Structures are given as C-alpha cells and as structure tokens.
Amino acid sequence: MDDMVEMTKNMENAGEVKPRSVRVVLMALMIAMLLAMLDNMIIGTAMPTIVGELGGLEHLSWVVTAYTLATAASTPIWGKVGDMYGRKGSFLTSIVIFLIGSALSGMAQDMGQLIGFRAIQGLGAGGLMVGVMAIIGDLIPPRERGKYQGMMAGVMALAMIGGPLVGGTITDHMGWRWSFYINLPLGAVALAMVSAVLHLPKKKAQGKIDYLGAALLTLAITSTVLVTTWGGTEYAWGSGEIIGLIVVGVLAIAAFLYVETKAAEPVMPLHIFRSRNFTLMSVIGFLVGFAMFGGVLYLPLFQQAVQGASATNSGLLLLPMLLSMMVVSLIAGRVTTSTGKYKVFPIAGGALMVVGLFLLATMDTGTTRLVSGLYMAVLGAGLGFLMQITMLVAQNSVDMKDMGVASSSATLFRTLGGSFGVALMGSLFTSQVTDTMTDRLGPAAAAKAGSAQLDAASLAKLPAAIRDAYQHAVAAGTHSAFLLGAAIAVLGFLAAWFVKEVPLRGAGPAPAGAGEGGKPAQAPQESLAH
C-alpha cells in the first residue's frame, strides 16, 4: 500500500490520491489487456464449429487475418490520438468499439458478416494494448513499474493457457457465439471501473490529425501483414500478387517517411527514433515477437504430432515456457525497481532466447516431454527478461508527450515481428515437412497422406509407416523452424549490448527525471485524481 502512495508522488497535480484508486485502475487495465490477448486464443478452438455452422471454409483464414490487420493498422493511430486528445477518452472508445465488434461477431449469420465484424473488433483491440501501456506509463514512473511486470506476464500466461481451454468449454456447452459474447461482461467491468476511478484531464490538440500519414502507414502495415499471411500459403513467394504487395509496401513506407517529416503532428514522430535505446528496443521487441509467436504455434504442433499429446489440452503444453516467463519477469521487475539497473536483462534475455530456440531445434522423435519442457523453460526465461523490459526502456526513452506513440510503436513492432515469425518459420516448416514426407514415402504416397491432420487422434488411424514418416517430418520441420528462430534471435542478443543504461524516471533524487543523454524528461501531463 505504501508503494502505491509513493509512486503517485512523481505525478504532477496529483492531489489527494488513494492507493485503492490506483489498484482499481490497474485491475481494470489488466482486464482490458486480458480481453485483447484472450480473444484469438478462445476463437481458435471455436473455429471448426463456426465453419460447420456458417460454412465458407475457403474464407476461414480471413476471420483471423481481418482481426490482425485491423489491430496492427489501428495501433499507431490510437497511440497518437491518446497523446493529442487525452488517454482516458481514447481508451474508453477503444473498449466500446471492441465490445460492439464482439457483440456483432456473436450475431453473425454468415462468414462474410463474421469477417467484417471481426475487423471492427480488431479496430478496438488496437487501442486496448496501447491504452494499457500508455496509461501505466503515465501513472507509474519507470523505476516503480518493474513491480507490476509479473502481473502483466501473469495476464499473458493466463490468456495463453486458459484461452484454448475456455474456448473449448464454451463452444461445447454454450455454443460458439458465446466465444464472442464472453467479452461483453468483462469489457463492461473494465469500462465501469476506468470511467469511475480514472480521472484524467482532457487535452487540447495543438494540430490536426495526420490523416495522410495514418493512411500511408495503414497501407504499409496492411501490405506487410498480407505478405506474411499469404506468402507461401495462398500464393507462392515469387507470385505476382506477393511481389506486388511488397512493392506497394515499400512505396508506402517511403511516402510515409517523407510525409512524417512535413506533418505538424505526425502519427509516428520520427524524432523518437533518434533515441538509441528506443530504436534498439523496437528491434529487440520485433525479434521477441518473432520468437514468441513462432514458439506458441509450433510447440503444441510438435507435442501433438510427435509426442502424442491431446489437442484439447494444447494450452497446458506451453505451461513450462509461460510459468518460467512469468517468474523471471517478476524477478527482473523487482530487481529493476530496487536497483534502477536494467541493461543486464536484455543481454541475459537475448542469450537465453538464442539457447532456448537452439535447444528446441534439437528435438526429434525420441525427445521426451520432460526434456522438451526444460527446453521451453529456457526460452520462457529469455522471454521473461525481455517482454516488459523492452516496453519500459522504450517509454523511458521519450518525453511524456510522446508516451502514446512510443507505446503504440513498441507494440506494433512486436506484432509485426510475430507476423514475420509465423510466416517465415511456417514457410520453412511446410517445405521441410513436404520434403521429408516425399523422401520417406515417395511423391504419390506423400501427397495422399498430406491431407491428414497433424494431431494425435488422426495419426493413430494411419498405417504405421505413414505415421512414422509424419512424425519424422514434423520433427524435421520444427527443427528447421526453431533453428531459423535461433539465428534471428542472435541479432537481438547483439543489439542488447548497445543499450545505454539511462536512469529511469522516478529512480530517486540523484538523476531522477533525466531523459536520454542527461536531458530532463518532461513531467507527466496527466494525473490520477480520485
């Protein structure tokens, strides 16, 4: 309780602030964060039932793609709107849009409607994570923020573990529409709590929203996500469609960079990248997304296809990685709060991420669940050192007036890293599986067996020779995918060595309030009042 009182002393115009008020706001923010992370986890297990009722199997991927595109494209815009017009209003608006999209998705009558409503839901989701991070950045000084890293890591673990289990239970007992409706009571609680307790002054924008910059950034992000989503699956990497999207993306990025140098209120101010730490954290965040999303996708696949685990408990298969991530994140946060030192954590996290991915790449058909669990724990420890530290250092590297765009940019780079990770690791995985199956069974038999699903139930029905070939193929595919991940993670480890240990704002009387390079950081422009 004393910690809550102490952290509010660093806020300008805070007045009388009760510790309970801060705790309630943090609880509401964690619920909103859970909403953003839980959604895709729950929907994934409901998708077979949804397709069975609505049809449109050929458009199945767009149910996820529409949500992902809308989330990624709107993330930077939400951050800038919060900086210009006030954090509370933009955050509440994003919750309302997310809940409207959730309600409409639950009422969808065909696949086309569901895809459109998922896009609306994604627009709101883009503001949820950004709002959470930016408001925490405003309310809690970076030095104190480490105390709450374990809480945020715990929410992430809860979403990844509980999402598939909750999704399967809801779908089986209440119907797939409740996979969307479940967001409504949670969102209503967050909405009420934030509205009642978080009192932030409205801001008067000094300029107009950079609509042209926002449009160009949206085009660039859309092209990038579509390339990573469609490349190697819907279209060949060398196809005209993929090449065209790459050209559009490059041109959009070039035009965006030019426009941002001229705009009065750029949607992503380029001056934030002058900070070495911010740029490095953006790079490391991209690589963390690459490794984490690739791991979350291919670890359950390996354990189901090779180790015979049940798909129903797929969330529990990630428990060693997620628990390790949560515990290490909590320890790193506590140490950062007590010492003010943090450079060692990106370095240690980068090293453990490389080692963990390399160990996972050594798994084969003889690897036991205990051994794979230990390997996952190593990767989880690396991610635990990196997940929240990257956001904390990124926010500490900018002035308070840019807190929103800093939070949204860091979130965006991590999201794009996940898209690239899933796409590149997926392409390599698919290619390796196909080659191994062909080598072991021949082209005709491999093509016939390729229609089977890679899960324990389907594999048990296959002839022994085909089942053995499948298991070796999946092991070879995961080996290639994680080896690529380890090679990419080396870049993050190298980047961490160049991080400059700038004193965290709120770190005490010495250089407290110093920005990067010894420049005084601006005081928060918003405060919590009860």
pLDDT winner (highest mean) among 61-75, 205-219, 234-248: 234-248
Q: What is the pLDDT of residues 51-64, one digit of tens each?
A: 667 766 556 667 77
Sign of the dihedral defined by the CA atoms of residues 340, 343, 348, 354, in that order? positive
Answer whether 0.95 is exceeded by the pTM.
no
Lowest mean pLDDT among 193-202, 327-336, 357-366: 193-202
**Averaged confidence pLDDT in the chain:** 76
Block residue for tokens 């453990």: 352
For 55: left if phi > 0, alpha if psi spans -120 to 50, otherwise beta; the answer is left
Euclidean distance between CA atoms 53 and 55, whole angstroms: 6
Q: Residue 17: its pLDDT value, please?
A: 40
Q: Residue 315: its pLDDT value, please?
A: 59
Euclidean distance between CA atoms 399 and 127, whole angstroms: 20
Which residue from 334, 353, 419 is spatially nearest to 153, judged by alpha carbons? 334
b/e sequence 222-256, b meaning 16+ C-beta within 10 Å: bbbbbbbbbbbeebeeeeeebeebbebbeebbebb
Lowest mean pLDDT among 381-395, 466-480, 500-514: 500-514
Is the pLDDT score of 527 beyond 50? no
Sign of the dihedral defined by the CA atoms of residues 363, 368, 371, 374, in that order? positive
Q: What is the pLDDT of residues 4-59, one digit of tens each?
A: 333 344 443 333 344 556 677 777 888 887 877 777 667 766 766 776 677 665 56
CA-based max dimension of the chain: 75
Q: Residue 5: its pLDDT value, please?
A: 37
Q: Residue 2: its pLDDT value, please?
A: 42
What 3-state DSSP class applies to 231?
A: strand
Q: Residue 358: its pLDDT value, please?
A: 92
354 pLDDT band, cuts 50/70/90, is very high
For the segment 499-517, the average pLDDT, to the nearest whole number, is 55
Decide if 147 contacts 334 (C-beta within 8 A).
yes
> CA–CA distance from 226 to each of 112, 220, 395 (Å)?
18, 10, 29
What 3-state DSSP class applies to 520?
A: strand
Q: Residue 112: its pLDDT value, please?
A: 80
What one-letter code names the amino acid at 516?
E
- Which comes out higher in pLDDT, residue 106 or 234? 106
- Which comes out higher in pLDDT, residue 458 or 285? 285
Torsion angles phi and psi, residue 306, rounded to 5: -100, -40
- Which comes out higher in pLDDT, residue 100 or 299? 100
DSSP 12: T
Q: What is the pLDDT of residues 95-137, one digit of tens each?
A: 999 999 989 988 888 878 888 888 899 888 888 888 888 887 7
For 86: left if phi > 0, alpha if psi spans -120 to 50, otherwise beta; the answer is left
Decide if 263 contacts 208 (C-beta within 8 A).
no
